[in-house]
């Protein structure tokens, strides 16, 4: 059954990414949707899950969220790893690879969460698996969207394959070790901070640059609503 779930995560993520590639001429709208989806994953999936499984106080969890936000801010500002609009820039560090890497690592954590949840009980495992599968499609869109906005970045298919395989690899890894819910909860809190930064400071500004603000804003709100509904249906 674990192998079937692993395959399902790959298929869901891959189709989401192919959707983004197929409609790349509407990239600003895809980025707008991705911004809402990334922020929604942070608020409606990662944060509640962290609060539930960590066993820590809300103040402690939110502190780790802030730490994650600050870590990504420092990496972005001091190493200039964010995307930008200067098409003549030859600095290879100016790309969206950091964001795509973070999204892939988040997908890996999704797989870890599924595998570890099944070790707690099949019921808990299925709840987590359904929650992950509902937003894997958007994970594919988010990853491709980040890479497509940077013309000098690598082939989006490469990143899509990496993101699609990540949750399956995470599930397989859990066959060989276990971690406490407290540790996993803090990891999720840190990545909640990562995603808030990616959505608010990277994707949202990029989506409405030189495009009608009204439609990109609508897509951002739509992305949040879609993920909100998906996560709640999975609960």
Q: What is the pLDDT, as a whole number, of residue 219?
A: 87
| Range among 26-35, 109-118, 134-143, 158-167 with highest mean pLDDT value | 158-167
* CA–CA gap between residue 59 and residue 62 (Å, rounded): 5
User: Which of 9-13, 29-33, 58-62 comes out lowest in average pLDDT?
Assistant: 29-33
Asked if residues 219 and 33 have their Cβ atoms less than 8 Å apart, the reply is: yes
Residue percentage of the chain with pLDDT more than 90: 10
Which whole-number Å values give the CA distances from 140 to 11, 28, 162, in the listed order? 10, 16, 10
Residues 6+ apart with CB under 8 A from 78: none
Q: What is the pLDDT, as a whole number, of residue 162?
A: 86
Q: What is the pTM of this model?
A: 0.68
| pLDDT at residue 212 is higher than 70 | no
């Amino acid at each position: 059954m674990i192998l079937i779930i692993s395959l399902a995560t790959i298929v869901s993520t891959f189709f989401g990414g192919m959707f983004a590639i197929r409609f790349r001429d509407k990239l600003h709208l895809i980025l707008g949707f991705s911004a809402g989806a990334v922020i929604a994953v942070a608020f409606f999936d990662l944060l509640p899950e962290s609060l539930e499984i960590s066993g820590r106080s809300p103040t402690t969890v939110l502190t780790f969220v802030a730490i994650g936000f600050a870590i990504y801010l420092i990496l972005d500002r001091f190493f200039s790893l964010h995307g930008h609009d200067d098409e003549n820039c030859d600095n290879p560090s100016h790309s969206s690879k950091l964001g795509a890497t973070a999204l892939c690592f988040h997908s890996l954590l999704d797989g870890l969460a599924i595998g570890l949840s099944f070790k707690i009980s099949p019921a808990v495992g299925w709840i987590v698996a359904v929650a992950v599968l509902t937003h894997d499609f958007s994970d594919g869109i988010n990853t491709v969207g980040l890479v497509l906005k940077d013309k000098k970045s690598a082939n989006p298919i490469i990143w899509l394959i990496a993101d699609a395989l990540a949750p399956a690899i995470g599930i397989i890894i859990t066959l060989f070790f276990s971690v406490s819910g407290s540790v996993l909860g803090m990891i999720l809190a840190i990545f909640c901070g990562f995603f808030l930064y990616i959505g608010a400071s990277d994707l949202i500004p990029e989506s409405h640059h030189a495009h009608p603000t009204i439609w990109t804003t609508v897509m951002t709100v739509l992305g949040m609503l879609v993920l909100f509904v998906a996560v709640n249906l999975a609960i």
